[in-house]
Chain A
Amino acid sequence: MAYAAIADRDQHLHDPDTFITKYIWSQDHKVIAIQYAITAIFVGVVALVLSLLFRLQLGFPDTFNLVDPNQYYQYVTMHGMIMVIYLLTALFLGGFGNYLIPLMCGARDMVFPYMNMLSFWVYLLSVIVLLASFFVPGGPTGAGWTLYPPQAISEGTPGIGGGIVLMLVSLAIFIVAFTMGGLNYVTTVLQARTRGMTLMRMPLAVWGIFVATILGLLAFPALLVAAVMMTLDRVVGTSFFMPEMLSLGRELDYGGGSPILFQHLFWFFGHPEVYIVALPAFGIVSDVLSVHARKNIFGYRMMVWAIVLIGALSFVVWAHHMYVSGMNPYFGFFFATTTLIIAVPTALKVYNWILTLWRGDIHLRVPMLFAIGFIFTFIHGGLTGLFLGNVTVDLPLSDTYFVVGHFHMVMGVSPVLVVFAAIYHWFPKITGRMFNETLGKAHFWLTLLGTYSIYLPMHYLGILGVPRRYYAYGDTEFIPASAQTLNSGITVAALFVAAAQTLFFINVIWSLWKGPKADPNPWRATTLEWMTPDTPPKHGNWGAELPEVHRWPYDYSVPGESEDYIPQTEPPHKGVIAGRDHGVHH
């Protein structure tokens, strides 16, 4: 077995001896995880503030005048790109991936700790380059987060000077950072699992992060190629994506490029990207649900195969983002079919989450509230995806607020609820202290109800036909005045949700200082990260001996046992029911 090769090897761990090597140039996966998380959350807050600025414009177009059309498109663009790439991708993989993979697999660290450290610093560089575009003449790009050429690099779009170039360079740097981290996550999962930790004994959180990382390693190169080519088109004057065209009356010196090619490359990355964010969320939420329902995840093998199948299918659905792009319309038949097929394994995952609650022993603690909130918003966002994935239904809805509502529900709210579930769930392990339950619950209720009142109505604006990415609507005849009232309401809800997030930050900071000391395994969970000899785990994670795994991670409420959980490290004894442990080959 693979684990014997590395797990038992006496790994040299670059023991830190100074403050700098312990907390700054750290090679410890846990410190790197926290560095990733703090950076990602910081830049996410920047993107949140940007969204409030343009929501004020949309909700109250004649009142605030905080943004002009230039800034509106710039903020919309930066908000989208930051949230998708620099917050969610970085946080799930760089943050949770880094923290959880070695601990849940029973490794002392990532297999390439130095490269892991580089990954974070290169990621930080990409964030700095991205934010620098706010300070160059012309400001950041306002091409929309999809960066479609020709407009992304031609006159009439904000930020075609330094802004778009810095965006493209930042993306390229991010991809370098991701690749260094990603190779680490995949190699660590494949090669550094501890004795007994077979693949089919891995917690679903690790499965989700593992498959998402593979998707990233295969999908990000398409974006890298697109970014490099567009940079060349912009800087050197090549014509990869630029056709013969006019720009504000002047003929440009381009010819022969294809704008639609860029869209194929972008979405060849962009659709798997949805699952790069979603699969870790799927995995993490599965574990949180199982722990707090005191019940094994329902249909573990099917959950694993669903993750793998969704990951594979996610590479053959990309052009459903392009039904009305002007590509050959016959593509629509193929991509609608593949897209609706992917709904089947996705739906099964939802059923299995709910069936995990069925006949469970549900403890509604804060992480569980967020996890169940996720199921609700994901059902909603997943079902509206069936509208947009089905080519004919997409026709009236494409490019409207229905799309904005859908992807925020499925890719904004849902993963963020999992992020919060995960932070509350592992907070005791990461910090050694408990968070405040009351603040956590208040944070949950305001976030769930607030976000739903933002995004549910948005779908109906879209059905009405209100196009997205409009700075203002003027008196468009088919848009009734009541729609503007609704828009104002959405903005107010957004302000509430944003304000509610301060509860989270207060809770985290307060609990870091004053929270009661946490039990090493406060939720009585089975997985390895709760079995560390120290809380928070020290460098090297496991003390002298690596843990040894004897069972799958979901032995909750096993009949005949006095405790309602059996840790993975517990050797087999009378209570084990043969055949239920998929890791044991008879």
Chain B
Amino acid sequence: MVLAVALILLVVASLAFHFLSPWYFTPLASNWGLIDLTVNVTFIVTGLVFVAANLFMAWCIIRYRHRAGHKADYDPENTKLETWLTVGTSIGVVVMLAPGLVVWGQFVNVPDEASEFEAVGQQWHWSYRFPGDDGEFGNVDIRHITQENPFGMDPDDPTGRDDILIASPIVHLPVDQPMRAWLRSRDVLHDFAIPQFRVKMDLVPGHVSYLWFTPTVVGEYEILCEELCGLAHHTMRGRVVVDERADFEAWLDSHPTYAETMERGLGDGELGQASYALCGACHGQAGQGMQILNAPAIAGMDVEYTARQLRYYRDGVRGTHPEDTVGATMRPIMAAIPDDEAIQNVSAYIASMPVQPLEETIFGDVARGERIYGNCAACHGANGEGIWAVNAPALVGLNDWYLASQLRNFRDGIRGAHPGDLYGDQMMLMADILPSDDDVDDVVAYLNTLSGGTN
């Protein structure tokens, strides 16, 4: 009896959970209302079966529970009943399958009026490409990938010269325009998923997959990687901003074509040297840093990383958090090198400076630090050398006190929380593994050993 009552209560509780709990689909923001319809049809059919089967079972348990003198029926087969159940089940299956197949037919067939873009996945970033004025994508090949040509564009393919390259996890799309997303991975499997659009598809290296949707609601939505792609899988986030057509066009025009990125290059260090005089006042003319001024050593830092951070300071993405008082001192300096080209040049100069020997100021449990660093090494390299391809700067050659302060800032949301900080949210997620300042010190102490510290 208790069992029968429990089964009835479980059915009631399941229905209550379904109808009353706040967790259900996010509001739809694409054309794929039909997908929601197929889900709802399935819920109705399976819900009816769930309730009917369990309530009948509960009734059987009550009605036919063992009582003295009661004997079971001897009833091996009932062909008529079995036939009816087979027919009924088959009808239920058809009711669910038929709309599923029809909608899938729409999903695999991209409408002719669809525009195209490409989403490129790599461990653990998104970037995007639009075909440009000629409406055609240029050839790409991973063999062409360098820091100057991170998309691997074929330099000899004229159709690629006007391709617009979005080296950022944020992409804008026009509202009410069907979009075909070509999906390309340069390393492992990834998955392009936007919950509010209801669609997702894996990216497979050596192969180009696709999906399509029409964004219908202006707004911002997160792009998630939903195929396990390694250690930092959960930090592989992108963002799609659905704009009115004009806003979208303006956004697209603000991005360089492949030809423009080649022209610009990574900056000219010799031209940047002059601007560096101002930096040297705090960071030292050899870039060796001055702890007393809270100015870390910067000599030899990766050019793209440095340029990105300088742009952040200029644009108020970094150094504006109320608790980042040290970072705030960089903000006025940036008035002196306001344009992208100057930033690129001074960054190139900084990258060309030889790394200076550093004093060790933080000590901790190196063995423990090494274990923690196992989580950092995937991006920053086994020896802390940094990997430009994953936008991860070198950690050796930086002052330990600076590293510790930045790790604490990431952990505490002082750095990386600004929506304009493209990769800062990844460090915020990863810094979760350093809940105490001892954790920070241990991992920094380990990094000191990689730098060949003074002791």
Contacts and interface: CB of A to CB of B under 8 A. Distances in A.
A and B pair up: yes
B454 interface: no
A197 to B, nearest CB: 18
B108 A69 contact: no
Contacts of A445: 6
B420 interface: no
Nearest to B145: A246
A366 B206 CA distance: 55
B231 A142 contact: yes
A574 to B, nearest CB: 15
Size bin of chain A's contact surface = 35 or more
B293 interface: no
B341 interface: no
Given A245-B205, A390-B100, A395 B188 contact: no
A391 B97 CA distance: 9
Interface string A370-414: 001001100110011011001111011111100000000000000
Interface in A333-369: 333, 336-337, 340-341, 343-344, 347-348, 350-352, 354-355, 357-364, 369
Given A156-B231, A325-B204, A390 B378 contact: no
Interface in A549-566: 554, 556-559, 564
Contacts of B21: 457, 460
Contacts of A376: 7, 10, 54, 57
Contacts of B105: 333
Contacts of B26: 464-465, 478
B24 to A, nearest CB: 6
A232 interface: no
Given A249-B390, A359-B72, A390-B38, A325 B202 contact: yes
14 contacts: A246-B389, A259-B204, A299-B76, A350-B53, A358-B56, A358-B64, A369-B3, A387-B42, A391-B104, A396-B35, A396-B198, A396-B199, A467-B193, A474-B425
A106 to B, nearest CB: 22
A463 interface: yes
A361 B206 contact: no
A1 to B, nearest CB: 23
Interface stretch (A82-90, A143-151, A180-188, A500-508): A143-151
Contacts of B187: 150, 154, 156, 245-248
A246 B387 CA distance: 12
Contacts of B231: 69-70, 73, 142, 156-158
A372 B23 contact: no
Interface stretch (B78-86, B311-319, B348-356): B78-86
Interface in A255-308: 257-260, 293-296, 298-302
B10 A362 contact: no
B206 A245 contact: yes
A580 interface: yes
Interface string B221-245: 1101111111111110100000000
A343 to B, nearest CB: 6
A10 interface: no
A452 B187 CA distance: 39
Interface stretch (B172-180, B273-281, B429-437): B429-437
A361 B189 contact: no
Contacts of B82: 299, 302, 348, 351-352
A246 B186 contact: yes
Interface string A444-485: 010011001000110011011101111111101110101100
A349 B234 CA distance: 40
B74 A559 contact: yes
Contacts of B71: 294, 361, 557, 564
A243 interface: yes
A85 B222 CA distance: 36
A393 B37 CA distance: 9
B338 interface: no
B363 interface: no
A70 B433 CA distance: 11
B50 A360 contact: no
Given A69-B231, A324-B200, A399-B193, A477 B39 contact: no
A348 B107 contact: no
Given A246-B389, A391-B100, A461-B23, A351 B228 contact: no
Contacts of B433: 65, 68-69
Contacts of A151: 188-189, 228-230
A574 B152 CA distance: 85
B186 A248 contact: no
B361 interface: no
A251 to B, nearest CB: 6
Contact of B191 (A294, A324, A482): A324
A486 interface: yes
Nearest to A482: B22
Interface string B194-221: 0110111111111101000000000011
Given A396-B35, A461-B23, A580-B76, A357 B60 contact: yes
Interface of B: 3, 6-7, 10, 14, 17-18, 21-26, 32, 34-36, 38-39, 42, 45-46, 49-50, 53-54, 56-57, 60-61, 64-66, 70-78, 81-82, 85-86, 89-90, 93, 96-97, 99-101, 103-105, 107-108, 122-123, 142-143, 145, 183, 185-189, 191, 193, 195-196, 198-207, 209, 220-222, 224-235, 237, 372, 374-375, 378-379, 387-390, 425, 428-430, 432-433, 435
B230 A343 contact: no
Given A295-B75, A326-B207, 16 more contacts: A69-B430, A156-B378, A157-B188, A157-B231, A246-B142, A293-B64, A298-B75, A329-B107, A348-B85, A375-B57, A383-B50, A392-B107, A460-B17, A465-B193, A468-B226, A472-B234
Contacts of B186: 245-246
A184 B86 CA distance: 35
Contact of A296 (B34, B70, B76, B237): B76
A513 interface: no
A24 interface: no
Contact of A249 (B78, B235, B389): B389
A155 interface: yes
Nearest to A354: B57
B167 to A, nearest CB: 15
A504 B374 CA distance: 39
A357 B73 contact: no
Name the residue among B23, B26, B66, B203 with the largest chain A CB count within 10 angstroms. Answer: B23
A244 interface: yes
A350 B52 CA distance: 12
A557 B195 contact: no
B93 A396 contact: no
Contacts of A155: 230, 378
B35 A395 contact: yes
Contact of B388 (A144, A249, A330, A369): A249
A452 B10 contact: yes
Given A350-B53, A369-B3, A472-B429, A386 B122 contact: no
Contact of A396 (B10, B195, B378): B195
Given A243-B207, A337-B101, A379 B228 contact: no
A67 to B, nearest CB: 9
Name the residue among B74, B207, B221, B224 with the largest chain A CB count within 10 angstroms. Answer: B74
A162 interface: no
Nearest to B7: A376
Given A301-B77, A350-B53, A472-B429, A386 B205 contact: no
Contacts of B230: 151, 155-157
B136 to A, nearest CB: 23
A300 to B, nearest CB: 6
B153 to A, nearest CB: 15
Contacts of A73: 228, 231, 233
A351 B85 contact: yes
A333 B104 contact: yes
A61 interface: yes
A257 B204 CA distance: 11
Contacts of B108: 329-330, 332
